[in-house]
Amino acid sequence: MRVRPGLGALQEPEFRRLFFARAFSQLGDGLLPVAHSFAILQVDSSPSSIGFVLAARSVPMVLFLLVGGVWADRLDRRRLMLATDLLRAGTQALLAFLLLTGRAELWHLLALAFVYGVGAAFFYPASTGLLPQLVSSGRLQEANALLTLTESGFQVLGPVLAGVIVAVANPGWAIAVDSLTFLASAGFLARLTLPAAAARAQLGFLTELREGWREFRSRTWLWVDGLYSALANALTLAPLFALGPVVAQRELGGASAWATIVTFAGVGALAGGALAIRVKPERPLRAGVAALSLLAGPPALLAIPADTVAIGVAAFFAALGLSFFNTVFITTMQEYVPPDSLSRVSSIDWLLSIGFQPIGYALAGPLAENVGVSTTLAAAATWLILSTATVLAIPSVRNLRRLNRGGREASALAKAD
């Protein structure tokens, strides 16, 4: 395992513009875990309401991710990201207006969450494919880690601010700030200048999608991660996010307790990003997947429920592991997958990763109402531990090595697994 400090990616002007664009957007998004959850509960206090709205935001990701991946490999990725920022600025502004005027109904939240999810479905493949165009290959993990680190920093600040806003005013104000940050992000994206891309023949949507699928399925570690993430998101993270605020409201003192837990998670994610800047494991997936076992802690302790601080400490380590894994996995994918199909491959991975999440969100509340919140959360923790051990037993995951190279040309020598 090699250890290297480095913030050199920020010396590259185009990456620096992307960094600030993402930073502004992430500042607003840091408010949402608290503000959005309690905005929903303000409109409908049933345990199922949060799950239904989260499902509405996830469904368009499932429906449009593949389209977003093909478009991002065909079109100017910067312009595609710019359009999605403007779309999401509009949805958040309208949601804030409805909440602040007292006109919000559950169907409003469901509809706006769906439109927001459409924007995200086009944004993520474009963003994954754009980064290697803006930063030198030797700084790719540092760049990914810096983006993660910044996101995590605002996940620390955001919940604290959101908790104060919810306690003294209205969650609609936090969502209004999120709308403004999307506009700031769009301003930085508009100033990006991309290197000239080689002309690529367009073969038709289905043909290009099949090419992306061939690239994806040729790597066992890649499709295994997609399946593993799909089940973890549906069976562990969906119950955690849907039922965590319910436990906080019923057992731990309300919004301030959930804000504390989410703040701990934000600090953990910050630590995970810092770790990924310095630590570059020779077997990145072995290290990253092992770190994901820490995700079992928060649902296990919420099932008791334990003290808020204890749950927060577990959330710290869970977010650290998730942040570290995400950074090394995205970097590995960007290293191994050819650049002209990277957005398609990343969209397929995203689709598999979140494919069952809407079902998990939708079923978490009804399941908790039938078998109990504690039982549902305990089962979520158990699944995470068992599935992680299974994935680590797969050789192509456990043994995959970093590409030790100075340029992307070495990716042609990589084995399929």
State the pLDDT at residue 290: 93
State the pLDDT at residue 413: 34
Both tokens of residue 159? 């919940």
171 CB contacts (<8 Å, ≥6 apart)?
Answer: 34, 35, 36, 38, 39, 42, 99, 162, 165
Residue 160 burial class via C-beta count within 10 angstroms: exposed 0-12, middle 13-18, buried 19 and up: middle
**Which has the closest alpha carbon to 303: 234, 379, 384, 357?**
379
Q: Report the length, in residues, of the chain.
A: 417
Other Cβ atoms within 10 Å of 8 Cβ, number: 15
State the pLDDT at residue 64: 86
Q: Which residue reads 């002209």 in tokens?
A: 340
List pLDDT tens digits, range 253-305: 887 888 888 888 888 888 888 888 888 888 899 999 999 999 999 999 999 99
pTM of the model: 0.72
**Which has the closest alpha carbon to 248: 265, 234, 232, 223?**
265
- Please identify every stretch of the chain with a pLDDT value under 70, giving residue numbers as ranges: 1-7, 47, 155, 195-203, 404-417
Distance set, CA 124 to CA 10, 71, 130 (Å)? 21, 12, 10
Q: Which residue reads 């991002």 in tokens?
A: 72
State the pLDDT at residue 416: 39
State the pLDDT at residue 291: 93
In order of their start, the domains of the chain are: 12-190+204-413 (1.20.1250.20)
